[in-house]
Structure 1
Amino acid sequence: MPIVITTVNVNGIRAAVKQRNERNEGMLRWLSETPSDVIVLQEIRASHKQAHDALAPALADGWHLTMTESSVKGHAGVGVLSRSEPAAVRTGFGSPEFDGLGRYVEADFTAPGVDGVDELTVASLYLPKGAADTPQDAAKFEEKKRFLDEFGAYLAGLAGGDRGVVVGGDWNIAPAEADIKNWKGNLKSPGFLPHEREWVAGLLASGWSDVVRDLYPDDAGPYSWWSWRGKAFDNDAGWRIDYQFANAPMAAVASAAVVDRAQAYDLRWSDHAPVTVTFG
């Protein structure tokens, strides 16, 4: 029996569940139709109570929400929505600087139904956006570098073993030229800086798999984020910054992936689209 995992940056859970116009019923409609078993959320930007209130209809239908909010009100926040209740939950990755900022949470599931995988950890990540290496942006640039150093070391220890692990999220890094429509115009942009792409390459070399890229090696994108401004969405001028990294047991059974891109600009309930992978 396959397990279906989705990652999506909701860009504020309270906004995502609201109906924006007569054609768009928001995230709740999407939740009622998705085949996903586990959904990892980023940028919830709400307290536990606010998030549970916003998702009340879905929770009443049997979804389980575990999340961590940021100590900075209205900022970040990550969570895991699942059809079965997790066996265990862990917040953060052991960082005194970042664990209170709502950027990482893990949920464990037993007997996930995937051949050869008896235990599964699914994690949600919201990696800092960072900034270019300029005097004006020095603080954000250095913050992201510190996060990459600490989190990279943590991931190195998470990849091994027989337990299946999938880390989905808004990684805020486009790994390669195929992952940005206008890569030439973004060579100095945060999210496409050389040290950021080298960091992702290091993860891939250490045993992690970018399962969407592995399944569709020759595709441009598929993009998962488009600016609200201009005609970026209409022209599909996007970035692939939302993805799922799997360790060897899960990468071996990744069988399909899709980006659930809205059919029109005014049907979007976030500036990101859900990225769904079927394992098994």
Structure 2
Amino acid sequence: MRIISLNANGIRSAASKGAFDWLRTRHADVVCLQETKAQEDQLTDPMFRPDGHHCFYRDATSKKGYSGVAIYAKREPDAVLTELGWDEFDNEGRYIEARFGELSVVSLYFPSGSSGEERQQFKFRAMEWIEPIFDGWLKSDRQYVICGDWNIVRSEKDIRNWKSNQKNSGCLPEERAWLNGLVERGWVDSYRTLKPEGEDYTWWSNRGRARENDVGWRIDYQIVSPSLRDRLRDCAIYREQRFSDHAPYTVDYAD
């Protein structure tokens, strides 16, 4: 089973840069997209309904052209969920879940606080609110793959400029403690499990020559249930083409 996660930073922009052509060659079972920045009725081009895939979108309703998540799946899901129960979060189009038997694949776009204190406080509220949901998933009989842009690094290995970013959103000590706490309670970071000493990044600022100089952050994850740890086989961050300010993150799981 192959799952790919990509923050598209605008699905139409990513498509114009060849993202869908590339995805077609990867033969993924599930593709999770974040930050689609579109309403579904704007995506009438057939490329946004890839042949042989079941396609599901959760757009932002509070602010059009903002946020948004999607899932493409080869197999038709048994169910698709788009709400977690907090309107302020749900209406920004930040969560969609496809269920296949006992497996749930989630496309999650966690808030960023980089635009200012108001959004940082929203991020902190989201962290507090969603934590018991994650705890409930962890204790459930379901297996979860939570794909997406979490907007938080875990450690010094996950960011090029560690010291200078200690007071910046995404690298704040309380954010890192929260995400690492999820892992300590049982959630599995697929990349760190497969590459314990890896120092690869998934996002680079558009400022300067950050991508060319690999001044990046690893903020895109596939966080999985403990029962899926032994099924992790390989992972890759694709950098050869630039579809977005993020890179696609692929994980292969044993069937």
TM-score range, shorter chain: over 0.9
Q: Helix, strand or coil: the match of 2:47?
A: helix
- Structure 1 or 2, whichever has the larger Rg, is 1
Tell me whether 1:79 sits opposite 2:70 in the alignment.
yes
2:171 to 192, 208, 221: 192
Partner of 2:207: 229
List aligned pairs for 1:19-30, cutoff 5 A.
Answer: 19=17, 26-30=18-22
Farther off after superposition, 239-248 or 152-161: 152-161
**Cα distance, 1:169 vs. partner?**
0.3
Tell me whether 1:166 sits opposite 2:166 in the alignment.
no
Between the two proteins, the alignment pairs up a number of residues equal to 253
**Cα distance, 1:58 vs. partner?**
5.8
- The answer to whether the 8 Å contact 1:162/1:249 transfers is no
Q: Which 5+ residue runs of structure 2 have no aligned equivalent?
A: none
- The answer to whether the 8 Å contact 1:32/1:58 transfers is no
Partner of 1:15: 13
Tell me whether 1:69 sits opposite 2:69 in the alignment.
no
- The answer to whether the 8 Å contact 1:31/1:58 transfers is no
1:258 to 229, 233, 236: 236
Q: TM-score, normalised by structure 2?
A: 0.95
The amino acid across from 2:91 in the alignment is G
Tell me whether 1:38 sits opposite 2:42 in the alignment.
no
Partner of 2:183: 204
List aligned pairs for 1:80-159, cutoff 5 A.
Answer: 80-110=71-101, 119-131=102-114, 137-159=116-138
**Cα distance, 1:131 vs. partner?**
3.7
**Structure 2 CA distance, aligned partners of 1:142 and 1:188?**
14
Q: Helix, strand or coil: the match of 2:27?
A: coil
**Structure 2 CA distance, aligned partners of 1:236 and 1:131?**
20
User: Alpha carbon RMSD of aligned pairs, Å?
Assistant: 1.4
**Structure 2 CA distance, aligned partners of 1:205 and 1:40?**
25
Partner of 2:244: 270
Q: Which 5+ residue runs of structure 1 have no aligned equivalent?
A: 20-25, 111-118
- With over 3 angstroms needed to count, the CA separation of the structure-2 counterparts of 1:83 and 1:12, relative to structure 1, is same
